[in-house]
Amino acid sequence: MLRRFVIGLSLLFLLTAINLAAVVNLAWDANPAGDGVTVYNLYRSNTPQTGYMLLGAFSTTTASDSVPDNGQIYYYVVTAVNSTAESLHSNEVSF
């Protein structure tokens, strides 16, 4: 499990992804309650480790992404957000 820190917000994520045809199902570990996380931001890119675009903010630790091109490899990261900060990116997964 990867642990990164941003002032006042820790990051405990293991991001996983399962590709079902043109839908990618993603799941990650929740942050400790003391971090005050309000949402998790999910990002996607078609280039590894750069160029992420925000897909949405989620209050749960799962999400699905209907990918625009099933033949393309997509790269995903997630961040935790509280009232004062957004964490560093989680580990990157691809499908």
Q: In this predicted model, what pLDDT tens digit does every residue of 21-61 receive, in sequence order?
A: 678 888 888 888 888 999 999 999 999 999 999 999 999 99
Stronger pLDDT, 67 or 18, i.e. the higher one? 67
Q: In this predicted model, what pLDDT tens digit does every residue of 2-30 receive, in sequence order?
A: 333 333 444 445 666 655 567 888 888 88
What percent of the chain is helix, strand and coil (3-state, nearest 5)?
5, 50, 45
Long-range contacts of 90-93 (CB under 8 A, 24+ apart): 90/2, 90/11, 90/13, 90/14, 90/15, 90/28, 91/2, 91/13, 91/14, 91/15, 92/15, 92/48, 92/49, 93/15, 93/16, 93/17, 93/26
Q: What is the pLDDT of residue 77?
A: 93
Q: What is the pLDDT of residue 8?
A: 41
Cα–Cα distance measured from residue 80 to residue 78, given in angstroms and rounded to the nearest whole number: 7
Cα–Cα distance measured from residue 84 to residue 14, given in angstroms and rounded to the nearest whole number: 23
Stronger pLDDT, 92 or 11, i.e. the higher one? 92
Q: Which of 45, 92, 42 is nearest to 62 (CA)?
A: 42
